[in-house]
Structure 1
Amino acid sequence: MVRVTGCPARYDEELGYLVVDDPALAREVLLDPETFRPDNAVLAHTPLSVKALRVLASVGFSLPPTLANNAGESHRPIRAAVARFFSPARVAGVEPLTRSLTVSRVESAADRLAAGSEVDLVEAIAAEPPALVLLDMLGLREVDVLALKAWSRDSLELFWGRPDEDRQLELAHSAAEFYDWLRRRTRAARRDQGDDLFGVLVGLGLSDEEVCAVGYFLLIAGQETTIQLISTAFRRSLGADAVASDVDPADLVEGVLREASSVPTWRRVTGRPATVGEVELPAGAPVLLGLTGHGGPADLAFGIGIHRCLGAGLARLEARVALECAAGLLSDVGLVEEPPMIDLLSFRAPRRLRVVTRSDGRRGLQPR
């Protein structure tokens, strides 16, 4: 993706957005949801083909306004219901589970490295704990985690990538499969309402489509963006003095959030004529906000205002724990290749981190 930098606000013809890199301006935009609406927050960046739309329509795929794309009156009660799953007490309460899941994977990776194998730190350590922790917090059982991870990655590419029509069709089938699963979970909750995510949303009086829309992006964003945050933190720590010199892992996480968050941009659209910096915009103009890497505070990576990320505290905890548990391993390994990247409109992180032990004579690449 093209990254526009060096100007507080300018139109990028290739992206088709007014790009706002100045943190103060981005903050102003996020704090004015009436002028800068979230209606385009989860729309496909690349318009979907007729074939892809037909596949989605076959399962009744619909994403009505619920959380990230909702500026209406229903946003507050939906957000309040979901926020209870991510209260500070609940987040603090999952640290032992997070640590246990991470330690077991670090130990397994260390054994493989000691035997002379290459290890992908993303898949071996970062990939599963955030998903398992999220499912535990939401009260969801009997979920195929590998399927959820595949659905999540495919959906991010479908909605924030630039897939051609053939790839779009593949991704649409994956998204449709995910949505069909969400529908079945919603119907089951209507028959036997429990206290898990689906039961709470059904009890709120939401339609099937609204329940599925909440589940669709919550189950993606609630774990995939954290996996990406951990992967970026690992990349910055590999073989680096930051680990060996006892730098606080929490500080390292904050540095990543400031400079290279897994969610570097987010979208808005003007609901009425507006001015950003010195740029005048008509109603309906798409805006792309730079959230990280432009000198702003770490907290801006999670947004601000009524649509601030509900999982900010959880993401920070999981990334910190991952760094704490993997510190010894990270100081002892080197990359065997420059990592390929997930590089979507609003998501960026290493796709994999293949490493070997540095003591075997193959020092690997060092962080740039």
Structure 2
Amino acid sequence: MWVIDEPAEVREVLLDPATFRPDNAVVAHTALSVKALRVLQGAGFALPPTLANNAGPSHRPIRAAVARFFSPARVAAVEPLTRRLVSERIDAARAALEFGPVDLVEAVAAEPPALVLLHLLGLDDVDVPALKAWSRESLELFWGWPDEDRQLELAHSAAEFYGWLWQRVGAARRLPGDDLFGVLVTLGLSDEEICAVAYFLLIAGQETTTQLISTVFHRLLTAAAAVVADAAAVVEDALREASSVPTWRRVAARPAAVGGVELPAGAPILLGLSGHGGPADLAFGLGIHRCLGAGLARLEARVAVECAGALLSVVRAVEDQPPMIELLSFRAPARVVVASAITAELTCTDTLDK
């Protein structure tokens, strides 16, 4: 791939979707084996252009329909829910620390983003642990380097997830509601298009936030002091320097020059979104494909830091260098294990009615 990581040049590419198309945004980075493809085909798995990989005329109405779920007013309204969910898990983690080390990824960061997302999308009766497993495994399948045996395992997971989505679409067609599936049915999309929208929205809308929160926790624990003076600034620093989505892909639709370098038509491009001196906002992309959940991710990460601040100040990291999720476009600590350092009263740093 042609790597572009100078922020001004990344911005230039993202703001020119006609020249630099998103067609390869969700294509499997490692070519899938015949066995894996057969598993996916057996489930009817298909990802037609909808959001991240859509450069056609259908992108605008689909994006507009989904964007309504993430309006600034709706995002602001879920702060009390977010704060309650995180605080409950902080309390449980504090109690568990009396008996030994605790992984803050699983104990605190994992479930709240999924529960908040499902609330915003109007979805209930969802097995959250299954959704989390499906999400992690789909990210590995499409952005990782799995060998053929691992691909087969991941393909079965993706097929199971897709089958669940297909059932939800069928239920929405029988009785359309005002949740995500009902709105997409009303929009007139095909079953495959609805499944494609939901597939990556239900992954990206929560798993990347879990990874962002995990990254922030790890950065605070390995800093000189874990005292949090400004949670929002801590989150912005992480987005700017070590976002959970550090890269994204594009493909050149025609010959083009970027930074004085000539790119041929069809050139696959890897854009560096974080860690190269650009603004924090670049971590969410720019232009017509900017992340719809940017505001939500910032809110959830800020609340997590505010609520965990007191806890982080009285624990120590068990591992300075934990195992990492290392995928083409996703990076975060796979775990953040802590142990008690001192005993103190741990409370959320803010109130529900702020």
TM-score by length of structure 1 reads 0.92
Paired letter, 1:98: T
Q: Structure 2 CA distance, aligned partners of 1:70 and 1:240?
A: 40
Name the counterpart of 1:296.
Answer: 278
Q: Structure 1 CA distance, aligned partners of 2:225 and 2:53?
A: 38
Name the counterpart of 2:232.
Answer: 250
Cα deviation for residue 116 of structure 1 reads 3.5
Q: Structure 2 CA distance, aligned partners of 1:241 and 1:103?
A: 25
Name the counterpart of 2:154.
Answer: 171
Paired letter, 2:12: E
Cα deviation for residue 340 of structure 1 reads 0.5
Is 1:22 aligned to 2:6, yes or no?
Answer: yes
Paired letter, 1:279: V
Name the counterpart of 1:334.
Answer: 316
Paired letter, 2:80: P
Secondary structure of the 2:183 match is: helix
Name the counterpart of 1:260.
Answer: 242
Q: How does 1:57-76 map to 2 (within 5 A)?
A: 57-76=41-60
Name the counterpart of 2:252.
Answer: 270
Q: How does 1:195-234 map to 2 (within 5 A)?
A: 195-234=178-217
Cα deviation for residue 257 of structure 1 reads 0.3
Q: Structure 1 CA distance, aligned partners of 2:110 and 2:130?
A: 13
Paired letter, 1:289: L
Name the counterpart of 1:5.
Answer: none
Deviations 1:192-249 (A, max 9, x none): 00000000000000000000000000000000000000000000111645542x4200
Name the counterpart of 1:286.
Answer: 268
Contact 1:35 1:270 in 2 (8 A): yes
Paired letter, 1:73: P
Contact 1:239 1:330 in 2 (8 A): no
Q: Structure 2 CA distance, aligned partners of 1:298 and 1:165?
A: 37
Which of residues 142, 146, 154 is equivalent to 2:137? 154
Is 1:238 aligned to 2:214, yes or no?
Answer: no
Which of residues 34, 44, 49 is equivalent to 2:18? 34
Q: Structure 2 CA distance, aligned partners of 1:80 and 1:129?
A: 25
Which of residues 66, 71, 74 is equivalent to 1:90? 74
Paired letter, 2:91: E
Q: Structure 2 CA distance, aligned partners of 1:69 and 1:273?
A: 20
Is 1:316 aligned to 2:298, yes or no?
Answer: yes
Q: Which runs of 5+ in 2 are unaligned?
A: 344-354
Paired letter, 1:61: F
Deviates more, 1:55-64 or 1:330-339: 330-339
Identity of aligned residues (%): 75
Q: Structure 1 CA distance, aligned partners of 2:222 and 2:248?
A: 32
Cα deviation for residue 283 of structure 1 reads 1.1
Secondary structure of the 2:335 match is: coil
Name the counterpart of 2:128.
Answer: 145
Q: Structure 1 CA distance, aligned partners of 2:95 and 2:129?
A: 23
Cα deviation for residue 318 of structure 1 reads 0.1
Cα deviation for residue 275 of structure 1 reads 1.0
Q: Structure 2 CA distance, aligned partners of 1:329 and 1:239?
A: 14
Aligned residues: 342
Cα deviation for residue 287 of structure 1 reads 0.2
Deviations 1:248-290 (A, max 9, x none): 0000000000000000000000111111112211111100000
Q: Structure 1 CA distance, aligned partners of 2:136 and 2:213?
A: 16
Q: Structure 1 CA distance, aligned partners of 2:215 and 2:136?
A: 16
Is 1:191 aligned to 2:174, yes or no?
Answer: yes
Name the counterpart of 1:118.
Answer: 101
Q: Structure 1 CA distance, aligned partners of 2:262 and 2:166?
A: 43
Paired letter, 2:10: A
Contact 1:152 1:224 in 2 (8 A): yes
Deviations 1:26-56 (A, max 9, x none): 0000000000000000000000000000000
Q: Which runs of 5+ in 1 are unaligned?
A: 1-16, 361-368
Paired letter, 1:285: A
Contact 1:239 1:332 in 2 (8 A): no
Q: Structure 1 CA distance, aligned partners of 2:147 and 2:91?
A: 40
Q: Structure 1 CA distance, aligned partners of 2:292 and 2:325?
A: 23
Paired letter, 1:326: A
Contact 1:116 1:357 in 2 (8 A): no
Name the counterpart of 1:306.
Answer: 288
Name the counterpart of 1:106.
Answer: 90
Cα deviation for residue 65 of structure 1 reads 0.3
